[in-house]
Structure 1
Amino acid sequence: MINEPEEKNTEKKGNKRKRKPLETKKTINRWKVAFLVLVALIIASIGFVFMRITQVREPNYKPVPELVEKDGTPVIAIQSKKKQVNELIDFYLSDFQKGSDITYKFYLENEAMLNGTFKVLGHPIQFYLYFDPYVMDDGNVQLKAKSLSIGTLGLPMKEILKFVQRDYKLPNWVEVNPDDSTILLRLDQFRMQNGLFIRAEKINLVDDDIRMNIYLPKDTNDTTD
């Protein structure tokens, strides 16, 4: 009779010892669920960013005009520096982008740079796209994308250029080509007063030497002769 209480106490102690692993297992499961939820949120956020950039809101039906070889006589030769050109670009874009919800900047340093933003989960993400400029034989200027700075997001230049092409308000003489990572400044389509047009002659950003010629159209010459 004396041994019976001891056996019961032993059983109770054994039951208490068996509960501890169950509590530990529940705690581990909670951490596991929390970790999986966090991973799922990260994956969903990355997926949202990728879809936001690559989605096509509507087809781009903007016609691309053919290159126009213009004949004329150079009447003004312009040799300028980056500071002066940047002031002109800033003035032009400020006026051109009035009323636009999405704005951007383009300026020249030792490289040509496009600075803009796009929104991810309601927060603006800033990017810098760097270009090397090349003067083409027809007097137009090609900007070849060479690098991209966008914080910690690892997005390719092609996708950023698609975003620029789709969402930014661009002049009709600016042609974005995401597939070959270029932007073409179609000076042959840039209209000036009285038919005057511009041809780029030289762009050397490192030596701060930018040269362009303003031409008088050949038709105007014929009518004035």
Structure 2
Amino acid sequence: MINKWKRGFFLLLGLNALIVILLISLIFIPADKNGKIHPGVPNNNSVSFEVTSNKDDLNRLINQYIKKEAGDSPVEYSVRLENEVELYGAIQFFSQELDLKLTFKPEALENGDLVLKQQSISLGSLHLPVSYVLKFIKENYKLPNGVDIQPNDKLIYVNMQQLKLKSDVKIKANRFDLIKDDIGFTILVPIE
């Protein structure tokens, strides 16, 4: 008879110990990624917001930014987002002013920057090498900080984090599909 009581006591003790261990482990295990609690150290330097946009709104914003950054530059240019990124401007060639149109295919990189790969060029009726025209633009157009023209690679690299914005706000490009009009950014707002 003592044997039954002894066995029952240890069984009850073991069951209680199991429940305590289970509760303690549930308290200290972080919630999964779909839960409300996210393990890890939060970024105390900035707050991020996901933003989606469309070509029309971005056209207005980009050209306002270019106008502000260009200031008193003697060469004017504009950018238009259609199915590709289109850059319009003019080049002085002797005493003639030739209209310039370059088109680029945009690509959002994993680090949040944009690469604009040159697709086509029209410069009046002249046929000039793309690298020559990109070099001319790099040397003569006043471009915002963070915009790097690479004539030999026939591309423009836009370092989104170096673009000068109010209140030190930074932008990362997530998606930049002009054909589907699917454009998404992350805005990083610094906090104290």
Matched, 1:103 2:76: yes
For 1:94, the aligned partner's letter is K
Q: Secondary structure at the match of 1:179?
A: helix
Please name the residue that 1:196 is paired with. Answer: 169
Give the drift of 1:166. 0.6
Q: TM-score, normalised by structure 1?
A: 0.62
Please name the residue that 2:127 is paired with. Answer: 154
One of 139, 143, 148 as aligned partner of 2:112: 139
Q: Secondary structure at the match of 2:121?
A: strand
Contact 1:74–1:213, Cα closer than 8 Å, also in 2: no
Please name the residue that 2:137 is paired with. Answer: 164
One of 148, 151, 163 as aligned partner of 1:178: 151
- 1:48-63 to structure 2, matched below 5 A, reads none
Distance 1:152 1:188, change over 3 A: same
One of 205, 208, 215 as aligned partner of 2:178: 205
Contact 1:126–1:150, Cα closer than 8 Å, also in 2: yes
Aligned equivalents of 1:153 and 1:183: distance in 2?
A: 22
Contact 2:85–2:103, Cα closer than 8 Å, also in 1: yes
Structure 1: unaligned runs, 5 residues or longer? 1-70
Contact 2:132–2:151, Cα closer than 8 Å, also in 1: yes
Matched, 1:116 2:89: yes
Larger % of strand: which? 2
Structure 2: unaligned runs, 5 residues or longer? 1-42
Give the drift of 1:118. 0.8
Give the drift of 1:144. 0.3
One of 81, 85, 103 as aligned partner of 1:130: 103
Mean CA deviation greater in 189-198 or 122-131: 189-198
Distance 1:95 1:216, change over 3 A: closer
Give the drift of 1:73. 5.7
Please name the residue that 1:3 is paired with. Answer: none
Larger radius of gyration: 1
For 2:150, the aligned partner's letter is N
Offset from partner CA, 1:6-30 (integer Å, 9 cap, x none): xxxxxxxxxxxxxxxxxxxxxxxxx
For 1:102, the aligned partner's letter is V
Runs of 4+ with >6 A deviation: none
Q: Secondary structure at the match of 1:160?
A: helix
Q: TM-score, normalised by structure 2?
A: 0.72
For 1:127, the aligned partner's letter is L
Contact 2:87–2:102, Cα closer than 8 Å, also in 1: yes
Offset from partner CA, 1:127-154 (integer Å, 9 cap, x none): 1111000001110000000111123211
